[in-house]
Amino acid sequence: MSRHFLIPALFLLFPMFTNAQSTFGLSLNGFVPTGELKRKSPEIWGGGFSSDFIFQMNDSPIHLGGMFGFTRYGSELRDGWHGQDLGDIRVRRNNQMAYLLGLIRVKPPVSENFQPYIDFFGGASYVATSSHYRDSALGEIWDSIIDIDDFAMNYGFGAGLELFINELVSLDFNLKMVKSSSIDYLTPKSVSYNQIDEVYQFDIIKSRFDHLNISLGFKVLLSEW
């Protein structure tokens, strides 16, 4: 089985055997390109949000779970003439990514009011550029299209630190190094408007989508299993 699918499979299978704590977390995330993505598209950056649900394995340091998140890594706006067919309109183009990761988290026992941990993860992400059409800044969106989309397989590792506010809630600081397969994508700089032909031109980029995910959020203890 591919390493990209192994950890999500564990996430689906193992919670039924847990007999300990479960936690739910919400975080705000920063997106920083690395590796080939940084070399080919150094201008992109962004942010978003994520949530995770983690099960402890039978009072051990091993936790299994999953994370879902959304990131926007750039946006472009063109307000003006778009040819005889469209006229004077406003076009907003968003570059975004949604991802689902299975997690193996190792949390060594500590006796203080903080908890370090290490993550190993794998999963998939959906990377897309979408355009939204309005007649004006305050007008309703009357059309939306996907300019390009692709799927990437992800894996990597990370580390974090929980600072406990009380017995049920903790602040969570996390850094993940995400490795990716190669995909086709757009950035704000790879799209231009040809005023002679009155069409958008796309310079599609192909590379791995490696990046750093930096997050700050909180976790809530839900139950004892």
220: domain CATH number is 2.40.160.20
Q: Which two tokens stand for residue 210?
A: 């490696």
Parent domain of 134: 3-224
Number of domains the chain is built from: 1
Three-class SS of residue 149?
strand
Q: Please enumerate in sequence order all residues whose Cβ is within 8 A of that of 63, keeping only pairs 6 or more positions apart, or say none.
A: 54, 55, 56, 57, 103, 104, 105, 106, 107, 117
Segment 69-81, tens digit of pLDDT: 999 999 999 999 9
Is 56 in contact with 63 (CB distance < 8 Å)? yes
Segment 159-188, tens digit of pLDDT: 999 999 998 999 999 999 999 999 999 998
DSSP conformation class of 141: P
* pTM recorded for the entire structure: 0.86
